[in-house]
Amino acid sequence: MAHLIAPSLLSANFLRLEEDIAMVNQSEADWLHLDIMDGIFVPNISFGFPVLNRVKKVTEKPMDVHLMIVDPDRYLEKFRESGASIITVHYEACTHLHRTIQAIKQTGAKAGVSLNPHTPVLLLKEIINEVDLILLMSVNPGFGGQKFIEQTYRKSRELKTLILDHGSDALIEVDGGVTLENARSLVDAGVDILVAGNTVFGSPDPTESIHLLKHC
């Protein structure tokens, strides 16, 4: 399977959001990535249901919703209703992770689990056959534009081994500091989905940047 590209809306221009989404629609991007932050789990606040409901009306790409929030179980159905095709929760935020994964699937969305940089992939062993994707944070979550954490390559290879050893179909997604310079190395390390924010929306030619990421 060719790797997927998911531009991160957090880096878009919020004064012309519909225009930026139209660009993504017309590009080779596969998904639209949306980071939901609550100011508690991470030290930042992004956007909520009013924005998602508007995005749902104009995007032509599946909405890849990454919940960086405490107690995500309260909102799973509502995120699905607001257009989420993929709902990813943090391992660190879920007391009963298996239950949360099943609850996501019951909404009809695909279920993802995200790991912070310090969280080892081995902790996913018991649920690796239950999830559709694993999102590795390659920066500390909360803000865009951070420096890529180099250990992500090793972590991705370890995760790919875990997936193959257990016959899982889970995809590996990486978010944070993805650039045109490191994209190929990430794919070579087993990454299936590249989330890119500043690399796309901070580019003079975002459509071309998406093309280059897609064909790295």
Instruction: Supply the residues annotated as catalytic.
Output: 35, 175
| Residue 84 · residue 59 · CB < 8 Å | no
Strand order in the sheet with 32-37: 4-7, 193-196, 171-175, 133-137, 110-115, 84-90, 63-68, 32-37
* Residue 72 to residue 25: CA distance in whole angstroms: 28
| Residue 137 · residue 112 · CB < 8 Å | no
Q: Give SS3 for 175.
A: strand
Collect all residues with Cβ–Cβ distance below 8 Å to 162 and sequence separation of at least 6.
121, 122, 124, 125, 128, 168
Report DSSP letters for 19-37, one per residue. HHHHHHHHSS---EEEEEE
